[in-house]
Structure 1
């Protein structure tokens, strides 16, 4: 975890990468091979990005391990996962394996938060400052800051008064929190809430879950993996990595190529049972019209509801967790994979508090007071209250482009990007896993690697042609935003609210933050732009013509 090479001469620094998760590490190894001068800053004390921070009980990947990896053979040929869906601890071990192979940490400055970046239009460089006094002036700024990295805690009245243990899931202490036999509250039932609840449910003394919107969970289908499984599967890895760029969300599968509405009742039942048995996100992917056809969506929801209710004993709990009327289109909000989530609510020591009926009034030194005036006492409170997703990490940095406008100011009424990787008015700035890319609707590495390649190819092109500035045009932004919004408006996700569209953050514009046209469509367009001489961008060089 080195802090070496802090005094790199500003005129020699080609690239600054902010973030050392999947995105930042992928870019690091590219620019190292190209021989460019670069630095990587990360606020964490180690690599891993979200897998460094998300240490809460039960934190686990919801993508099959073999596809949730870097595609380079040297990084997978002698690495064997122990589970189909790895734990956070195994993900940390995987990143250590990556570093053992590539020696990435020596090029990363840890415990360093970027606080500001200002564009110099005369020098065609960024001036970037950190919280510990470092100042660098890279030609190109790459934000690999992640889509779910800024925890959101609602403005609960009296939160600071609570005298017990209280942590947001995204900032869980590395040493853990003792919950065995304790009185525990979990506030929030998104994906992290689900993982926490099913992990600690069997060991707490009493658990109270505060739920506003029931989450629609799918069977994980977890499996232990042995060496024989890897020996059989690894010859197919290169094929899987190519195929994930050909599927809608970067998974190694596509939906069944038939509509729900054109299938017979018998076919619907058998096809849904077949896919449900597969587990994972494909367990409701039995038909290809569920995302835009209400009849199909309702049919899939009815099937899901029957499966979940069969696992719950209490009729009241059935209605709270799998309501008669779907709270939003299935697939319209983030789904979660679970193993024993619903069984936890059959326990006598578990209560569910519906925040729509009985909201949180305030926190006290002993716990939480609800709207009915009752004080619920706790030893531990888990805030699974979500994230300022997709744009949050970027807008929290004071990034100033041409004319001194910040990214936060530019996006205060809505996001504008070109290709979900660049912003007009902010030259030489690229970002990965950000807004208006397939971000929330794709497997991370499936999107990260081709984005990283595209960005690196832009910079290679510029250096080869002695160009020092690239900026997206406002017209290209308007066109890209129009495409993102028009696709969204055709889908049922338009009728749901959550972090996918920023509706969970007060004051944030409520609009879809990811490209919903699928991974192949997205990267085909990115390729076209490059092949057409980077249409939608203005490229130029400084007066001396030197890159």
Structure 2
């Protein structure tokens, strides 16, 4: 751990990294171990892990197949670490990240249990002043924000919440000590990715489980099982080739994506294809493996939801409950998967409350009042998600050139170039920031951090003080992102993908929807031009190299 500076001293370092998850750890590895920079890293958690440090709720696990939900930068690490199943639990993922931190000696750079409160660019020195909640100040030439796409916790306030006499937990801030919920009356608010995992885990053990559902979700099974050994043999046989396949695909999830349009085949073929993928399991597979147009074609989308609706009605014994569980929206949110989710509603001890028809009125001493009914509870679980994509950046005060704050610049929406930089904030880099690709994250984290490392190395090699995108590059990127998103079905459904889950947040596009292969090409083009065409060095147009 780095030395803590006493006020009013300012500790000078080459770079500051904010975040200790997949992206933050790799950022520290690249900047410290590869580029040889003096790096100070922070995380508000007590140790490494990022989202997997905090999300310890019952049933927490990856819903991305782990053969692509991991690091690729070291083939030996990939071969030596043995995962127990295709969708590992939180404890196994956290153990993996702890192993990575130890293996590459990354903890020495970190100060944990520390919140970065502000980052301010000094135009005279071309350095960032970073201030923590401990009153410390650090001066850094480069700033890397690896703060997480889904990590700014959304904790809604309900009337009377302070009166509840039982236990209350948020899925994203679950206690580290064991929480025994067996035999208790548990209420779960929220049916997103975390909510469905909690519900499936608690339904068999709770004395009574009450689910407060605002919006039903399209959920397919995960089909938990060990990783296919034939798949691992194929990966090990051509590791570099597989890694390239992952990065130069549409979604970077590591499975074969369909090249066939659902509209090009008849209804029976569509149904059979979705049945097959449903039976194999996996939410992202269901959206991208059967056909290539589920996110863009109403025909394909309806074929996908027809099969899920059929499964819901076949699985859930009470037709009235099944009706409440069938969404009326398009299949255009982050695709969800979880084993035994719909089966959870067959337990006589599970109650489903439709809070659109019977809104939550208040918390009481004994539980929750929804509509005219009071539901008595021992425990309330808030599975209410995150202020996603831009939330964690905006929780840090950030000031760039000419006194412009990020909060003001992003008041109407986030503006970035490639989801990695924003004009007017020199040498500030974001990993998987707003307007980045809509993909699996860890492989893209690596690709972006490699690009960031190359940009920093280029800045050092040419003797420049700063590098930043031009306003035109940012404007062009935003236009491209919005044009691409408009061709999909995602803007038609309210979700965290467009900010609709947070009251008062701009409801806009937050992603590049053109696929990761095209996104990789953009990063490769910047390298080929030696960060010329789209950039300013020391505030002036960069030299363009063909």
TM-score where L is the length of structure 1: 0.94
Count of aligned pairs between the two proteins: 534
Counterpart residue number, 1:321: 325
Alpha-carbon contact 2:485-2:511 (below 8 Å) kept: no
Per-residue Cα deviation, 1:277-315 (whole angstroms, up to 9, x for no partner): 332121343111221111221122112211222111111
Aligned to 2:19: 19
Distance in 1 (CA, whole Å) between partners of 2:420 and 2:233 is 37
Q: Tell whether the 8 Å contact from 1:75 to 1:101 is kept in structure 2 after alignment.
A: no
Question: Which of 471, 475, 480 is the aligned partner of 1:478?
Answer: 475
Q: Does structure 1 retain, via aligned residues, the 8 Å contact 2:287–2:295?
A: no
Equivalent position to 1:307, from 311, 336, 351: 311
Contact 1:272/1:284 (<8 A) preserved: no
Distance 2:233 2:485 in 1: 41
Q: Show CA shifts across 1:2-27 (max 9, x none).
A: 34475899685211000111111111
Residues of 2 paired with 1:509 and 1:283: CA distance? 29
Q: Aligned residue for 2:176?
A: 174
The 3-state SS of whatever aligns with 2:451 is: helix
* Counterpart secondary structure, 1:412: coil
Query: Would you say 1:418 and 2:422 are equivalent positions?
Result: no
Measured in 2, the distance between the counterparts of 1:245 and 1:233 equals 14
Report the counterpart of residue 360 of structure 2 in structure 1.
Answer: 360
Q: Which residue of 1 aligns with 2:294?
A: 290
Deviations along 1:240-263, one digit per CA (max 9) or x if unpaired, are 222111211101234322221220
Mapped partners of 2:4, 2:539: distance in 1: 28
Q: What residue is the counterpart of 1:545 in the other structure?
A: none
**What is the distance in 2 between the residues matched to 1:276 and 1:375?**
38
Query: Does 1:79 pair with 2:81?
Result: yes
**Partner residue in 2 for 1:400:** 399
Q: Which runs of 5+ in 2 are unaligned?
A: 541-546
Deviation at residue 265 of structure 1 after TM alignment: 3.0
Q: Give the distance between the partners of 1:429 and 1:184, measured in 2 at CA.
A: 44
Distance in 2 (CA, whole Å) between partners of 1:385 and 1:265 is 37
1:334 offset after TM fit, Å? 1.8
RMSD, aligned α-carbons: 2.0
Work out whether 1:344 is the aligned partner of 2:347: no
Q: Residue 11 and residue 358 in structure 1: after superposition, are their counterparts in 2 closer, same or farther (change >3 A)?
A: closer
Post-superposition Cα deviations, 1:14-46, rounded to whole Å, max 9, x if no partner, equal 110001111111111111221111111111111
In 2 relative to 1, CA 228–294 (structure 1 residues): closer, same or farther, beyond 3 Å?
Answer: closer
Kindly indicate whether the alpha-carbon contact (under 8 Å) linking 2:468 and 2:535 is maintained by their aligned counterparts in 1: yes
1:176 is displaced (CA, Å) by 3.1
Q: Distance in 1 between matches of 2:245 and 2:354?
A: 43
TM-score where L is the length of structure 2: 0.94
Asked whether the 8 Å contact 1:141–1:429 carries over to 2, the reply is yes
**Aligned-pair CA distance for 1:392:** 0.4
Q: Distance in 1 between matches of 2:227 and 2:164?
A: 43
Residue 232 of structure 1: CA displacement?
A: 7.0
User: Which runs of 5 or more residues in structure 1 are unaligned?
Assistant: 543-547
Partner residue in 1 for 2:335: 335
Structure 2 residue aligned with 1:536: 534
State yes or no: 1:35 paired with 2:33. Answer: no
The 5-angstrom pairing of residues 44-59 of structure 1 reads 44-59=45-60
Is the 1:3–1:110 Cα contact (8 Å) retained in structure 2? no
Counterpart in 1 of 2:514?
A: 517
Residues of 2 paired with 1:386 and 1:503: CA distance? 12
Cα–Cα, structure 1 residues 316 and 82, in superposed 2: closer, same or farther, change >3 Å?
A: same
Check whether the contact 1:31–1:456 (CA below 8 A) recurs between aligned residues: yes
1:262 is matched with: 264
Using a 3 Å threshold, how does the CA distance of structure 1 residues 238 and 6 change in structure 2: closer, same or farther?
farther
The answer to whether the Cα contact below 8 Å between 1:67 and 1:240 also exists between their aligned partners in 2 is no
Stretch moving more, 363-372 or 128-137:
363-372
Does structure 1 conserve the Cα–Cα contact (< 8 Å) formed by 2:436 and 2:512? yes
**Structure 2 counterpart of 1:279:** 281
